């Protein structure tokens, strides 16, 4: 059921000739990333070599995966595109809408009651359009994809930034907005700027307390949240081969935290073992036949400096466990330095909760290593000082770890097992007392730790570590605890130490599952009815956005000048707002409410130039829209970093914002703005950001000449009548300008479907 071996065979059949041709065209050996990219060109066999970081290229991904929060809007858009079936294998996974509160059973029951109409909609629309549907409780998208669909050398896109997780199985897997998914599901090409390449050479071997997680925590510290932007991170070396496939998945997963387009590993025995363990011996057999094409040419790894744009080298034998945070995943602190750093920065040492699991770290290996620590707590009479929770990544993992007695062991240390879903990782955590907003510390094995991400409390300091380290710290209840050197006092008053974690890469008795939670689509979906109530407050059929009227935009007002970090969480907050992901008008009430207004340093309080009063951003935008006044949003660096949610682009579009002008964009968000027919612009001169004042009026005086490679000129009129000219760069190509002209990319697709 779960994977399409014929599709995979076809990819492997085509791959050698395409890669050989590409090698000939570029006239040098190829990296793995390049092989996969050239094997997935929309045009088929390559006709030219591409320049990294420059050329926009059309690709033909093999698969699409959507999670429930983003799938709603993606599938509403797909419906609007007028196609009978998804053109490539596609799956939908219900994982984001399940709030963690009590335990798996109670939480799942409540989620089904609360989000029934959304799950029904997703189930019915999947059934209709040939899409595989994973029910609530089946697992987290990236874990389910790794277990069922990812394959070496494949290319997939997914409507979630951590789609990159599938790089652990040698894919090029990229997080996109729903609009991109709609393109691919509609049988159209998917466009990407040919990425740059960062090579990470891993030497040595992990041991003791160090885990694959520590590799990516270290890489995040080196590259920072921006360092991977526009690049694929390719891992290689003896150290890479020594990692498990799921460990590779963890590393690729958090590649999203350095802004990388994706990350990947060459095909090796760990992937073969994982494929066989997850019931895909046929895929492993096929992959083995083209193994040379599923890794870089030997010359590349022999002389990586010649073939990558940047090289990082990490010796795993010397690597220490890390904790990254708080508030950003690139603030990397080795545990031996944590006491000192915490004291210096006044981070509360008392750890309230340790949380393991999520899509990032819930493999059998992760859980078995954590359970080896939990077992020691029982054996050594250590009573855990912090609360402890587990969110398994899939029903297959949950069922298997229950069968193997791990859940019983966790029970003994008072752990709570949440549903196989995102829960605390995406703010869907009804944490008792969070509303008091007390300053406190938590540690988790998830990937992100932005303010409010886990429990909605801006004063929760979240630190990211490996599951085994999180377990040890939860037992100690102390952020500064270093299990390599520190002792704990047990219930008998004795000093004890925790031994190094041990575990299994794969379950010795194999994976097992009773009901994986999969629903196959109808053979013929033409008669299936899609369920959307016209009175629903959660789902709303879409109306097309207006096309551009061909005129320069004149008299636009500044809606907000965002100060500092402005992630997609700031633009379209998650948590309780997830319930409106399928209803554009309702969810627009969260637009930019987390962004800091540069003029008063407050969130959600901006000036309405019509009344002179200050009010919430969405209300102010609605007032301008009602008055027919276009608006502009101004922002800082890496604007829109974080997730792939296109709501962060659709909401401003819906509420009348015409342009977003920033110092720099996060890639996915920039594309999303373009797809929704907006102007995504960057200051040619970054210092011009400082020239923008609260009462400014913007005139786009040469929009009629909008063309690839040609900057736009903005006349910025200040309240005193003085003017500044601001040059705005853009990265639109001809096709993308077509989206702007049509009003959105979807408008173009719908027109093509109509013929």
160 is catalytic: yes
As a whole number of angstroms, the distance between CA 336 and CA 313 comes to 21
User: Residue 587 or 659: which CB sits closer to ligand F3S?
Assistant: 587
The DSSP-derived string for 621-643 is HHHHHHTT--EEEEE-TTBT-S-
Tell me how far, at minimum, the Cβ of 645 lies from ligand F3S, in Å: 11
| 215, two tokens | 């590799």
In three-state secondary structure terms, 389 is strand
| 587, two tokens | 């969810």
Tell me how far, at minimum, the Cβ of 75 lies from ligand F3S, in Å: 18
User: Residue 243 or 419: which CB sits closer to ligand F3S?
Assistant: 419
As a whole number of angstroms, the distance between CA 124 and CA 287 comes to 35
As a whole number of angstroms, the distance between CA 342 and CA 333 comes to 10
User: Residue 359 or 692: which CB sits closer to ligand F3S?
Assistant: 359
User: Residue 56 or 327: which CB sits closer to ligand F3S?
Assistant: 327
User: Residue 70 or 603: which CB sits closer to ligand F3S?
Assistant: 70
User: Residue 422 or 592: which CB sits closer to ligand F3S?
Assistant: 422
As a whole number of angstroms, the distance between CA 522 and CA 525 comes to 5
| 705, two tokens | 């000449």
Please name the residue that has the structure tokens 């995943």. 329
Tell me how far, at minimum, the Cβ of 493 lies from ligand F3S, in Å: 40
| 10, two tokens | 């076809």
Tell me how far, at minimum, the Cβ of 202 lies from ligand F3S, in Å: 24
715, 699 in Cβ contact below 8 A? yes
User: Residue 30 or 219: which CB sits closer to ligand F3S?
Assistant: 219
The DSSP-derived string for 316-343 is GGGPPPEEE-SSSTT-EEEGGGHHHHHH
Active-site residue (options: 52, 162, 369, 448): 448
What dihedral angle (degrees, nearest 10) is formed by the CA atoms of 267, 270, 272, 273? -170
Active-site residue (options: 40, 52, 68, 95): 95
User: Residue 140 or 475: which CB sits closer to ligand F3S?
Assistant: 140
Please name the residue that has the structure tokens 């040939």. 130
As a whole number of angstroms, the distance between CA 439 and CA 455 comes to 12
Active-site residue (options: 62, 107, 160, 478): 160
Q: For residue 218, with 0-12 CB atoms within 10 Å meaning exposed, 13-18 middle and 19 or more buried, which class applies? A: buried
Tell me how far, at minimum, the Cβ of 97 lies from ligand F3S, in Å: 11
Active-site residue (options: 33, 126, 362, 643): 643
Tell me how far, at minimum, the Cβ of 446 lies from ligand F3S, in Å: 6
What dihedral angle (degrees, nearest 10) is formed by the CA atoms of 265, 270, 275, 281? 120
As a whole number of angstroms, the distance between CA 176 and CA 7 comes to 22
18 is catalytic: no
User: Residue 94 or 587: which CB sits closer to ligand F3S?
Assistant: 94
Buried b (16+ CB within 10 A) or exposed e, 519-540: bebeeebeebebebeeebebbb
In three-state secondary structure terms, 193 is strand
User: Residue 362 or 620: which CB sits closer to ligand F3S?
Assistant: 362
Q: Residue 196 phi/psi, 5° resolution?
A: -75, 175
572 is catalytic: no
- H-run or E-run covering 649: helix 647-654
Tell me how far the alpha carbon of residue 42 is from its chain's centroid.
24
**Cβ count within 10 A of residue 453:** 25
Tell me how far, at minimum, the Cβ of 161 lies from ligand F3S, in Å: 8
688, 654 in Cβ contact below 8 A? no
User: Residue 68 or 365: which CB sits closer to ligand F3S?
Assistant: 68
The DSSP-derived string for 43-69 is TSS--S---TTT-EEEE--SEEEEEHH
Tell me how far, at minimum, the Cβ of 542 lies from ligand F3S, in Å: 24
As a whole number of angstroms, the distance between CA 227 and CA 691 comes to 28
As a whole number of angstroms, the distance between CA 259 and CA 257 comes to 5
Tell me how far, at minimum, the Cβ of 196 lies from ligand F3S, in Å: 24
Tell me how far, at minimum, the Cβ of 424 lies from ligand F3S, in Å: 9
Cis omega (within 30 of 0) on the bond before 326? Answer: yes
Active-site residue (options: 645, 647, 667, 669): 645
448 is catalytic: yes
Instruction: Kindly give the pairing relationship between strand 606-607 and strand 602-603.
Output: unpaired
470, 386 in Cβ contact below 8 A? no
Tell me how far, at minimum, the Cβ of 419 lies from ligand F3S, in Å: 12
Can you give the binding site for ligand F3S, defined by CB under 6 A? 95, 140-142, 160, 162, 358-359, 422, 425-426, 446-447
370, 471 in Cβ contact below 8 A? yes
Tell me how far, at minimum, the Cβ of 462 lies from ligand F3S, in Å: 12
Cα distances from 430 to residues 98, 354, 361, 427, 711, in angstroms, run 11, 15, 21, 8, 47
User: Residue 395 or 636: which CB sits closer to ligand F3S?
Assistant: 395
As a whole number of angstroms, the distance between CA 387 and CA 460 comes to 15
Active-site residue (options: 96, 280, 538, 653): 96
Which residues are the active-site residues? 95-96, 160, 448, 643, 645
């Amino acid at each position: 059921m779960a994977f399409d071996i014929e599709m995979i065979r076809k990819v492997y059949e085509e791959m050698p000739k395409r890669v050989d041709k590409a090698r000939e065209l570029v006239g040098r050996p190829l990296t793995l990333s390049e092989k996969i990219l050239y094997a997935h060109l929309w045009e088929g066999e390559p006709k030219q070599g591409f320049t990294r970081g420059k050329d926009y290229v059309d690709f033909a991904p093999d698969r699409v995966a959507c999670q429930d929060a983003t799938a709603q809007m993606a599938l509403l858009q797909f419906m609007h595109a007028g196609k009978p079936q998804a053109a490539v294998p596609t799956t939908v996974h219900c994982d984001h809408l399940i709030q963690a509160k009590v335990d798996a059973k109670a939480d799942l029951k409540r989620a089904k009651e609360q989000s029934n109409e959304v799950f029904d909609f997703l189930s019915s629309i999947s059934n209709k359009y040939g899409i595989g549907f994973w029910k609530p409780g089946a697992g987290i998208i990236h874990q389910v994809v790794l277990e069922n669909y990812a394959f070496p050398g494949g290319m997939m896109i997914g409507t979630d930034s951590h789609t990159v997780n599938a790089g652990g199985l040698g894919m090029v897997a990229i997080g996109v907005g729903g609009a991109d998914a709609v393109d691919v599901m509609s049988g159209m090409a998917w466009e990407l700027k040919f990425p740059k390449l960062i090579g990470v050479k891993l030497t040595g071997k992990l041991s003791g307390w160090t885990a694959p997680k520590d590799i990516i925590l270290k890489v995040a510290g080196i590259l920072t949240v921006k360092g991977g932007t526009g690049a694929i991170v390719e891992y290689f070396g003896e150290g890479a081969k020594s990692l498990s496939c799921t460990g590779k998945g963890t590393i690729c997963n958090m590649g999203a935290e350095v802004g990388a387009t994706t990350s990947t590993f060459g095909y090796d025995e760990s992937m073969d073992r994982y494929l066989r363990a997850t019931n895909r011996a046929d895929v492993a057999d096929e992959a083995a036949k083209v193994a040379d094409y599923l890794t870089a040419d030997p010359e590349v790894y022999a002389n990586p400096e010649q073939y990558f744009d940047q090289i990082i080298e990490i010796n795993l034998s010397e690597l220490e466990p890390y904790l990254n945070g708080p508030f950003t995943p690139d603030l990397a602190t080795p545990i031996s330095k944590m006491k000192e750093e915490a004291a210096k920065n006044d981070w509360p040492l008392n750890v309230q909760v340790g949380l393991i699991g999520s899509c990032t770290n819930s493999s059998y290996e992760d859980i078995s290593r954590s359970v080896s620590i939990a077992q020691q707590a029982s054996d050594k009479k250590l009573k855990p000082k912090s609360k402890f929770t587990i969110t398994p990544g899939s029903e297959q993992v949950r069922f298997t770890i229950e069968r193997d007695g791990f859940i019983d062991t966790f029970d003994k240390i008072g752990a709570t097992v949440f549903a196989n879903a995102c829960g605390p990782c995406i703010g869907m955590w009804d944490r008792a007392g969070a509303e008091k907003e007390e300053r406190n510390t938590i540690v988790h094995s998830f990937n992100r730790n932005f303010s409010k991400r886990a429990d909605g409390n801006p004063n929760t300091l979240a630190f990211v570590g490996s599951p085994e380290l999180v377990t040890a710290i939860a037992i100690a209840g102390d952020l500064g605890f270093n299990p390599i050197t520190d002792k704990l006092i047990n219930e008998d008053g004795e000093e004890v130490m925790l031994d190094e974690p041990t575990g299994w890469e794969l379950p010795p008795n194999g994976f097992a599952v009773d009901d994986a939670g999969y629903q196959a689509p109808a053979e013929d979906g033409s008669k299936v009815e899609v369920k959307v109530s016209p009175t629903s407050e959660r789902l709303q059929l879409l109306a097309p956005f207006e096309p551009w009227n061909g005129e320069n935009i004149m008299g636009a007002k500044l809606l907000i000048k965002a100060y500092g970090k402005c992630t997609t969480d700031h633009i379209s907050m998650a948590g309780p707002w997830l319930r409106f992901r399928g209803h554009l008008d309702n969810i627009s009430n969260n637009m930019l409410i987390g962004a800091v207004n540069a003029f008063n340093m407050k969130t959600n309080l901006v000036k309405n130039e019509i009344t002179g009063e200050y009010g919430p951003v969405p209300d102010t935008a609605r007032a301008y829209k009602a008055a027919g006044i276009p608006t502009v949003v101004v922002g800082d660096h890496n604007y829109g970093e974080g997730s792939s949610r296109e709501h962060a682009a659709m909401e401003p579009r819906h509420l009348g914002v015409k342009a977003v002008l920033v110092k720099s964009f996060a890639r996915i968000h920039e594309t999303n703005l373009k797809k929704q027919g907006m102007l995504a612009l960057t200051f040619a001169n970054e210092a011009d950001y400082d020239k923008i004042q609260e009462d400014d009026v913007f005139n786009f005086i040469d929009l009629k000449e909008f063309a690839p490679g040609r900057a736009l000129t903005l006349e910025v009129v200040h309240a005193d009548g003085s003017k500044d000219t601001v040059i705005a760069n853009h990265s639109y190509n001809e096709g993308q300008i077509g989206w702007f002209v049509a009003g959105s990319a979807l408008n173009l697709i719908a027109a093509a479907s109509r013929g």
